[in-house]
């Protein structure tokens, strides 16, 4: 009788565990969607920078084009540097890596300056400043949200005391 009960419990439990694994898998796959991120960013910036529908339509293709170019520059640098620097990294190698990272920041700044000129063709300078502020706020809010999600939503949790 015990064997039959154990078999029944096992058979009843299998679908539950399979569903739980599937749900967890789908959560992991749904974690990041570039299109969803872009859409949220677009809505946020449009609202905070007070862009009209026409301004947003003209502005965001340029904005996302710049974002992609910046991402590619950073990707190129990551691939070029290749290794992570730690204790095994020589001073000479560390200097080369630091210089490469500085050059990357310069390239990105030059690219942003070029795009500022393009932005001025579609929105006023005041709104460009509002866009930059909104973009920065969006990133900060996103990081805060991610931190709260990783902590289980508990903002007031303190680090354990060490004596």
Q: Tokens for 71, please give them.
A: 């991402």
> What is the reported pLDDT for 1?
61
Q: How confident is the model at residue 97 (pLDDT cuts 50, 70, 90)?
A: confident
* Residue 59 counted as domain residue: yes
* Residue 5 counted as domain residue: no
* Residue 74 counted as domain residue: yes
Q: Could you tell me how far CA 56 lies from the centroid of its own chain?
A: 22
Domain hosting 90: range is 33-146
Per residue in 116-154, pLDDT tens? 999 999 999 999 999 999 999 999 988 888 888 776 655
- Residue 152 DSSP label: T
* Residue 99 counted as domain residue: yes
- Count of structural domains within the chain: 1
* Residue 37 counted as domain residue: yes
Per residue in 24-53, pLDDT tens? 555 555 677 889 999 999 999 999 999 999
* Residue 26 counted as domain residue: no
Using alpha carbons, select from 131, 113, 108 the residue that is nearest to residue 58: 131
* Residue 87 counted as domain residue: yes
* Residue 23 counted as domain residue: no
What is the pTM (predicted TM-score) of this model? Answer: 0.68
Q: Tokens for 47, please give them.
A: 């609202």
Task: Determine the Cα–Cα distance for residues 75 and 115; give it in Å rounded to an integer.
Answer: 20
């Amino acid at each position: 009788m015990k064997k039959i009960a154990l078999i029944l419990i096992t058979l009843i439990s299998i679908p539950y565990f399979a569903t739980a694994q599937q749900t967890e898998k789908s959560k992991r796959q749904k974690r990041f969607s570039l299109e969803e991120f872009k859409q949220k960013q677009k809505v946020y910036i449009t609202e905070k920078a007070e862009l009209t529908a026409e301004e947003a339509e003209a502005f965001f293709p340029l904005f996302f084009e710049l974002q992609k170019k910046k991402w590619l520059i950073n990707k190129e640098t990551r691939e070029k540097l290749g290794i992570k620097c730690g204790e095994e990294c020589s001073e000479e190698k560390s200097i080369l890596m630091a210089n490469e990272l500085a050059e990357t920041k310069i390239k990105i700044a030059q690219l942003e300056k070029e795009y500022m000129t393009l932005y001025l063709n579609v929105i006023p300078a005041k709104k460009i400043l509002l866009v930059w502020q909104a973009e920065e706020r969006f990133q900060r809010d996103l990081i805060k949200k991610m931190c709260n999600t990783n902590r289980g939503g508990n903002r007031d949790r303190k680090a354990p005391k060490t004596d």
